[in-house]
Amino acid sequence: MSDEQQKAERHNQRMAKKKAIVDEKIQQAQKEQGVLIINTGNGKGKSSAAFGMVARALGHGMKVGIVQFIKGSYATGEEAFFRRFPDEVEYHVMGEGFTWETQDRERDIAAAEAAWEQAARMLSDPSYALVILDELNIVLKYKYLALETVLSALRQRPAMQHVVVTGRAAPEGLMEIADTVTEMGLLKHAFNSGIKAQPGVEL
Amino acid sequence: MSDEQQKAERHNQRMAKKKAIVDEKIQQAQKEQGVLIINTGNGKGKSSAAFGMVARALGHGMKVGIVQFIKGSYATGEEAFFRRFPDEVEYHVMGEGFTWETQDRERDIAAAEAAWEQAARMLSDPSYALVILDELNIVLKYKYLALETVLSALRQRPAMQHVVVTGRAAPEGLMEIADTVTEMGLLKHAFNSGIKAQPGVEL
């Protein structure tokens, strides 16, 4: 083989190798699987974005499970609305809510564990295409649930199941296993302009 | 009057003045009015948060208007879902969508203006308690609509009407008149981990 031919040969081999690498990357990018999404930060919209994804999933004919880890007036509108669709949406609100006032840690832990029972059941049932764990981050921040318990349930969930976890101060370990982490940052707040929260939009 | 008495008198006057200031602040914080909320930034959840607020408003029995300024597959789930409630939600999607490919600026402007007509009508009708102007920011960024036209319609809208504007790169002038501005920041993205977008969650 002439030098020219050898040169062309080596060139073709390099090209073939490059093409193989590109093909592999394309194939990897095709993998469909459930994603873990975290909405954190001090800004607004963490829970609203999760509830918007509920609407999106329902539009795609999916079944959705929602566990709200902090009982409060902040999401009563969403609760009232999504409870209209009992066949498509299973909605749980943590019974007790937190007892910041009484500082009764034992009671908070019991409430968090009861809510987690519902979440764990959904995370082991492939019929839920989307599971919302609203304000779970704060439960983890206060160590009312063990992070490892939550991480292993998320790791072992059905392959196609999507999960959205909301709340400030998402723990590092949770963000590590997440596919998408969005930080909602507050640039400007209506409270600063002296407008009180009201139905329809809690600011 | 003794020095002691004069001292007590001045003290009382200072206290009375402080109390008046506090009372005024409390009164200001009581004002109920529609709020302008902007969801911007490069992260996820800008539109989802707006659609979550639609669910919240519907839960409070409010009527909602939605104008989607960019036609695309990204919100087909929400559209399919919220179109189930024609009596409660009026949903408009910009007919043409943008023509990034053909770079036909005239056609883009015509499409933007047609969509804005719907928005302007909603912004002058008090029966819409919440109006979503989805991706309006990008229309303004490309100057397909005049910022001043949008600002004056927002300033003159019904006093109790809430508006949510979404999209990257919200113009400074719009943020100035907003009550709440949230910047969605991307900390981690599933595309980086090679998962392709899919129904139910567009990442």
What CA dihedral angle connects A134, A140, A145 and A150, to 10 degrees?
70
**pLDDT tens digit sequence for B149-179:** 999 999 999 999 999 999 999 999 999 999 9
How far is the C-alpha of B133 from the C-alpha of B197, rounded, in Å? 24
CA–CA separation, B167 and B142 (whole Å): 12
Nearest to A200 among B129, B196, B199 (CB): B129
What local confidence, expressed as pLDDT, does residue B94 receive? Answer: 83
Q: Name the closest residue on chain B to residue A81, using Cα atoms.
A: B59
Written as six digits, the tokens of B19 are 């109390």
For the entire predicted model, the pTM comes to: 0.79
User: Chain A residues with CB inside 8 Å of B59's CB?
Assistant: 76-82
The mean pLDDT value of chain B amounts to 85
Q: How confident is the model at residue B188 (pLDDT cuts 50, 70, 90)?
A: confident
Q: What is the structure's pLDDT at A203? A: 37
Kindly list the averaged pLDDT for each block of 10 residues, start to end, along chain A of length 203.
74 72 58 89 93 95 94 78 96 71 78 94 98 95 95 97 96 94 85 52 46
B188 contacts on A by Cβ (under 8 Å): 175, 178-181
- Model confidence at B203, pLDDT cuts 50, 70, 90, reads very low
**B48 and B167 in contact (C-beta within 8 Å)?**
no
Which parts of B23-147 are beta strand (E)?
36-40, 64-68, 89-93, 130-134
B203 contacts on A by Cβ (under 8 Å): 35, 37, 179-180
The kind and range of the H/E element at A114 are helix A105-122
Cβ neighbours, 10 Å, residue B185:
16
Compute the nearest-CA separation of A185 from chain B (Å).
5
Token reading at B33: 């009015």
Q: How far apart are CA A79 and CA B159, in angstroms?
A: 27
pLDDT tens digits for B60-105? 999 999 999 987 656 789 999 999 999 999 999 986 556 555 578 8
Write the burial class of residue B81 (CB in 10 Å: 0-12 exposed, 13-18 middle, 19+ buried): buried
Q: Residue A81 and residue B58: Cα distance in Å, rounded? A: 6
> How far is Cα B166 from Cα B42, in angstroms, rounded to an integer?
11
Domains of chain B (ranges; CATH) run 34-185 (3.40.50.300)
ipTM: 0.76
The answer to whether the CB atoms of A79 and B58 lie below 8 A apart is no
